[in-house]
A = this chain, B = another copy of it.
Amino acid sequence: MEKFTVTILGCGSAKPTLIHNPSSQLITIGGKAFLVDCGEGTQHQLMRYRCNTTRLRHIFISHLHGDHIYGLPGLVSTMGLQHHDAEIVVHLPEAGIPLLQPLMEYSAHDLNLRFEPYEHRRAIIYEDKTIEVETLPLVHSLPCCGFIFREKPKPRHIIREAIDRYEVPICRIAGIKLGNDYTLPDGRVIANDELTSAPSPSRAYAYVSDTLPLKAVAHAVKGIDLLYHEATHPSSRASSSKATCHSTAAQAAQIASLAEVKRLLIGHYSSALKGDDINGLLEEARAVFPATIASQEGMTIEI
């Protein structure tokens, strides 16, 4: 099965600290790479963790707060210096285009850069043969969307022995992988499940930052393999968390629990939290949803 990984490049929040970098994650699925958010210093983090970005083509920006976008000019400039010749697409709220396009296009004049605005609603904004990315509207102090990365349904696995037994010609294999039955020259029909076994599961990852806790999110990410949900504050700061349209660790865990996801990843830590406080956040989340992981820079999670 192809690797599907999430690498944490930054899990801090708006106010910069020396402990955390601002938000950014690299998602790799098979050989493809996708960047989600791009806080200041993201290009250095990609270098620090030896991330391969030669196949990075799509960058998804959740919203226009600086801690999610300030790394974009530097990143595309360096990609330009590296002579990337493929088109690089930046998916972002439309309001970001006049802010970012002048500096980014100036910075990366060698790069084939395209800005693709998306709206604040659920929609598939990227798809290829095997993957789709869907926006997930969130509620923050300005328009913000999460992203769900999903593998499309995969072909069924051929049972080699059965294929040989019935002398199935190669030209039929693709259809059989998609679920077709096979009709023998004598008219007998061999049911697909005699020829194939179930396909590998289609995995999915949801990135949910920054937001108030929302039941709609739990509904949208039902049963997902890995949910990243922001957990900016501990419950002890619930009122300031609400006032700034963020979530507490317990709230993130409640969403994970309601959605019955397989694992929860928390991050987007407030600058007021020190190293040990992150353990407190993790305990708080695990009390509600045991399968919780606390983000840290450089961590790669396999899905």
A73: chain B residues within 8 A (beta carbon): 40, 66, 70
Q: Which residue of B lies closest to A271 (CB)?
A: B81
Q: Which of A40, A71, A100 has the most CB atoms of chain B within a 10 A radius of its CB?
A: A40
Minimal beta-carbon separation of A135 from chain B (angstroms): 22
| Complex Cα–Cα for A77 and B39 (A) | 13
Instruction: Report the interface size class on chain A.
Output: 20 to 34
Interface residues of A in 1-50 (CB under 8 A from B): 14-18, 40-41, 43-44, 47-48
Minimal beta-carbon separation of A167 from chain B (angstroms): 59
Is A220 on the interface with B (CB-CB < 8 A)? no
Is A98 on the interface with B (CB-CB < 8 A)? yes
| Complex Cα–Cα for A43 and B39 (A) | 13
Contact A43 B16 (CB under 8 A): yes
| Complex Cα–Cα for A44 and B14 (A) | 13
A185: chain B residues within 8 A (beta carbon): none
Contact with B along A146-169 (1 / 0, CB 8 A): 000000000000000000000000
Q: Which of A101-109, A204-212, A226-234, A284-292 contacts B (4 or more CB under 8 A)?
A: A101-109
| Complex Cα–Cα for A106 and B93 (A) | 14
Is A74 on the interface with B (CB-CB < 8 A)? yes
